[in-house]
Amino acid sequence: MVSEIVDTTDEWITSRTGIKTRYVSTTETLLDLAVEASKKALASAGIESKDLDMIICSTIKGDYVTPSMACLIQRDIEAKCPSFDFNAACSGFVYGLDMADAYIRAGKAETILLVSAEAMTRHIDWTDRATCVLFGDGAGAVVLKKGDGLRSIKITAKGDDKLLVIGSVFSPSPFAKQPQIDPAFRMNGGEVFKFAVSSVIKDVKQVMKEAGVEAKDIAMMVPHQANLRVFQAARDKLGFTDEQIANGIDHYGNTSSASIPLLLDELMEQGRLVKGDLIVLTAFGGGLTTGACVIKL
Ligand code: UT7
């Protein structure tokens, strides 16, 4: 119980965020989660790992600085293709879709495994009640191939290290003159909340306009799971009903870039999303980055 660690209550967490439960890796490495998600994605796509042309992994920090998560996923699923990580924080999955789309359109790859793997609970200050109640660990993956499913996509960045930051720890050096950097997750929650709501509204309106679709055409909007209240605040401005907005924050918490693919997998498995559905994805987070897209499944 987190209320035994910091001064908080289930009532506060549920009413302010929508979170009820989340997963914290204890014995698993982040690679364990990423490899399991990758194997599941390959099996459900009916693709063999030897047929992958590229593995891209979004993560704010893998198990190592180097090798990348993607290289170790490649080893463990026995693929033979270029593999690399990138960091677009919570917007990583949408950034990854945009990147994969560019490689496929350029003819440089036909089949790409996109993995989002995040161990956010490693970066939390477990004495800071404002943030330690928010995050969970997880990984999700998709296999991407040439097609006309991606109807529109947008990614943005606005450089900022004041509102949301996680510092790095470096090896001690006799030459370093910089002060020690705080390695824990720090966030100005209120300002990030405002940024999130305005970005979701702006980005989703733009990608829906570009795709020529309206709210009534969308089976579901699958947002990055940071706070239930962000989507409630954006819902009316976008013309969605509650039923059209996917919610996984109650059982996953905030898993950064893994939150969208984790939820997509669950919705497909439950039959709540089916082939042919139009969906909107929207994400926002550290950087500050944002991304949104319209996809026909
Ligand atoms: O995924 C990356 C992007 N991240 C986000 O989008 C997060 C966006 N921000 C948020 O979701 C919300 O700002 C939070 C959930 C982080 C915080 O919710 P809030 O409604 O903005 O709360 P607050 O920070 O304004 O704090 C309100 C009160 C304060 O007490 P006082 O000053 O009013 O007496 C806090 O000290 O709630 C207190 N508080 C808590 N109380 C019990 C803060 N954290 C807790 C807690 N338990 N865990």
What is the best residue among 16, 22, 94 to mutate for testing ligand 1's pocket, by most ligand atoms within 8 Å of CB? 16
CATH number at residue 254: 3.40.47.10
**Do 277 and 162 belong together in one domain?**
yes
The residue from 132, 224, 227, 293 that is catalytic is 224
What is the torsional sign of CA 59, 65, 71, 76?
negative
> Can you give the pLDDT at residue 1?
80
In ligand 1, the atom with minimum distance to the C-alpha of 8 is 47
Section 24-42 average pLDDT:
97
> Can you give the pLDDT at residue 156?
98
> pLDDT of 42-64, one tens digit each?
999 999 999 999 999 999 999 99
* Domain stops at, among 112, 147, 182: 147
Q: Is 71 a catalytic residue?
A: no
**Do 180 and 161 belong together in one domain?**
yes
Number of folded domains that form the chain: 2
> pLDDT of 257-282, one tens digit each?
999 999 999 999 999 999 999 999 99
Q: Which residues pair with 145 in a beta bridge?
A: 111
**Do 169 and 269 belong together in one domain?**
yes
Q: Is 123 a catalytic residue?
A: no
> Can you give the pLDDT at residue 176?
85
**Do 22 and 132 belong together in one domain?**
yes
Amino acid letter, 81? C
Could you tell me the residue range of the domain that residue 192 belongs to?
151-296
Residue 6 vs residues 1, 118, 123, 139, 230: alpha-carbon distances, Å:
9, 23, 16, 27, 24
Section 76-95 average pLDDT:
98
**Do 233 and 142 belong together in one domain?**
no
Element (H, E) at 265: helix 259-269
**Do 10 and 135 belong together in one domain?**
yes
Mean pLDDT of the chain: 96
Q: What is the phi/psi pair of residue 295, to 5°?
A: -130, 135
- Any atom of ligand 1 within 6 Å of the Cβ of 8: yes
The residue from 90, 123, 227, 293 that is catalytic is 90
**Do 225 and 141 belong together in one domain?**
no
Confidence of residue 171 (pLDDT cuts 50, 70, 90): confident
DSSP-derived secondary structure letter, 78: T
Query: Would you call 35 helix, strand, or coil by DSSP?
Result: helix
For residue 123, report the distance from its CA to the centre of ligand 1, in Å. Answer: 18
- Any atom of ligand 1 within 6 Å of the Cβ of 111: no
Percentage of the chain modeled with pLDDT above 70: 100
* Domain stops at, among 107, 129, 147: 147
Q: Among 84-88, 173-177, 212-216, 286-290, whose mean pLDDT is lowest?
A: 173-177
Contact (CB, 8 A) for 211 and 151:
yes
> Can you give the pLDDT at residue 93?
98
**Do 100 and 167 belong together in one domain?**
no
**Do 215 and 276 belong together in one domain?**
yes
In ligand 1, the atom with minimum distance to the C-alpha of 196 is 6
Q: Give the closest residue (by CA) to ligand 1 atom 42.
A: 8
**Do 128 and 9 belong together in one domain?**
yes
For residue 168, report the distance from its CA to the centre of ligand 1, in Å. Answer: 24
For residue 130, report the distance from its CA to the centre of ligand 1, in Å. Answer: 5
Q: Is 90 a catalytic residue?
A: yes
**Do 140 and 221 belong together in one domain?**
no
For residue 71, report the distance from its CA to the centre of ligand 1, in Å. Answer: 37
- Any atom of ligand 1 within 6 Å of the Cβ of 285: yes
* Domain stops at, among 147, 173, 195: 147
> Can you give the pLDDT at residue 90?
98
Q: Give the closest residue (by CA) to ligand 1 atom 13.
A: 189
Confidence of residue 86 (pLDDT cuts 50, 70, 90): very high
Contact (CB, 8 A) for 57 and 115:
yes
**Do 166 and 89 belong together in one domain?**
no
> Can you give the pLDDT at residue 8?
96
